[in-house]
Amino acid sequence: MAAEKKTSTSKTTGSKATNSKTTNSKASGTKSDSKQSSISQQMKDSEFHQFFLDELKDIYWAEKHLAKALPKLQKAATSKELAQAFEKHTQETETHIKTIEKVFELLGEKATAKKCDAMEGLIEEANSVISDTDKGTAVRDAGLILSAQKAEHYEIATYGTLRTFAEKMGHEEVTSLLQQTLDNEKETDVALTEIAVNFVNEEASEE
């Protein structure tokens, strides 16, 4: 993760007159408007806040990349259980993307994505599983589950940390939004384990 350090040097001035968008014209709900105005320019200039934003941009890119990859994994899956799990999580991932956009909005920031090398690599690995295994086999499903769980664990680590950061900074609504996504990623991980145990692993061991 390449840090965007430019803003950290202006810490002492604490005021950028041009950036006083405390009231966002977009309808973001009554609650969020009051939250938004509570984010002071001093907080926005802090390195912790900048680091938090940088990581949000990273997971935003990662989620978008995953949303594009999941339908491909769905198509490649052998069992209908795994295909359905991928289909379900594609929809959930679209929700995660919207949730991050909401978080950016609450912080009074523009939603921007920054390439996440980790997720790119994880999806590459999933593609290798597809090319290295035969269509219609349980071994392929076992490999796809492994790849998907690696991606989920990356997301769990990221959301777990980001929700803690948000809590530390006193962003209550952001904390609960990130917690919701974190919970969903954990549920997905558990669901994938269940599919492996109930439908895939035994068959794979017999192929």
Q: Which residues bind Fe ion (CB under 5 A)?
A: 63, 93, 96, 155, 185
Residue 36 or residue 74: which is nearer to Fe ion going by CB? Answer: 74
Instruction: Yes or no: say if 19 and 13 are a contact pair by the CB < 8 Å rule.
Output: no
Instruction: Yes or no: say if 11 and 46 are a contact pair by the CB < 8 Å rule.
Output: yes
Q: How far is the CB of 188 from Fe ion (least distance, A)?
A: 5
Q: How far is the CB of 19 from Fe ion (least distance, A)?
A: 30
Nearest CA-CA partner of 192 in 161, 159, 150, 154: 150
Q: How far is the CB of 17 from Fe ion (least distance, A)?
A: 37
Residue 141 or residue 155: which is nearer to Fe ion going by CB? Answer: 155
Nearest CA-CA partner of 59 in 146, 156, 139: 156
Residues whose CB is less than 8 angstroms from the CB of residue 173 and which lie 6 or more positions away in sequence, other chains included: 31, 32, 35, 106
Residue 35 or residue 65: which is nearer to Fe ion going by CB? Answer: 65
Q: How far is the CB of 66 from Fe ion (least distance, A)?
A: 6
Output the residue with the shortest Cβ distance to Fe ion: 96
Residue 58 or residue 185: which is nearer to Fe ion going by CB? Answer: 185
- Per-residue CA distances from 120 to 36, 61, 66, 91 (Å): 32, 9, 9, 20
